[in-house]
Amino acid sequence: MIGAAGENLGVMPLYQALQLAREHSTDLVEVNPTAVPPVCRLLDYGRYKYEQAKKERDARKSVKTAGLREVRFRPKIDEHDVQVKSRHIREFLDEGDKVKISVMFRGREITHPELGRELLSKLASAFKDVASIEGSGLMEGRSITVILSPLKQAKEAKVAKEAR
């Protein structure tokens, strides 16, 4: 039996432990049922559950899942727009996320898939230093996609940044 302040109260029968809990106006909670004899503790169970839920929420907040980000291009995109979107892709890769690059075709643009493949190869070569290519120019309906995944150095840099 463990008291409300954490002191050891010794081994006692159940009825005596329940009476002690009523006197202190606390709850008797079985902490370790597998031990011989089972370990019980005097505490406010509502407050205990609240603190456990709070710890769980905080733990969930700190965990960030590495997601898949998508950046879409068109085959006739201007050079400046490519540079702006490339900066976004680099930021996503630096954060440790995978990036799906899609070239979307509208109308008769689909008759020139080589324009999309050219754009994708240009982008893939621009990110060789920070990413590896997973999918290689797969045609899915009216779009061509490539998936870039960050290299280990980028992931390690992210972990080091979070540790600070």
This model's pTM is above 0.85? no
Assign a CATH topology to domain 14-62: Ubiquitin-like (UB roll) (3.10.20)
- Which stretches of the chain are assigned E, i.e. beta strand? 27-32, 39-43, 68-73, 98-104, 131-140, 143-150
Domain ranges of the chain: 14-62, 68-163
Given a contact cutoff of 8 angstroms between Cβ atoms, the answer to whether 99 and 124 are in contact is: no
Q: How many CA atoms lie within 13 A of 117 on its CB side?
A: 10
Look at residue 36 in the predicted model and tell me its pLDDT: 85
Retrieve residue 138's tokens: 């797969």
Look at residue 104 in the predicted model and tell me its pLDDT: 93
Look at residue 159 in the predicted model and tell me its pLDDT: 60
Walk along the chain (164 residues) in steps of 10 and give the mean pLDDT of each run.
84 89 89 87 89 88 77 92 93 88 90 89 86 81 89 64 62
Look at residue 164 in the predicted model and tell me its pLDDT: 61
Cα separation of 48 and 58, whole Å?
A: 16
Look at residue 141 in the predicted model and tell me its pLDDT: 87
Helices 79-94 and 113-126 cross at an angle (nearest 10°) of: 50
Task: Tell which CATH architecture fits domain 68-163.
Answer: 2-Layer Sandwich (3.30)
Look at residue 138 in the predicted model and tell me its pLDDT: 77
Task: Sheet containing 143-150: give its strands across.
Answer: 68-73, 98-104, 143-150, 131-140
Look at residue 74 in the predicted model and tell me its pLDDT: 92
Given a contact cutoff of 8 angstroms between Cβ atoms, the answer to whether 13 and 27 are in contact is: no
Place of tokens 């999918």: 135
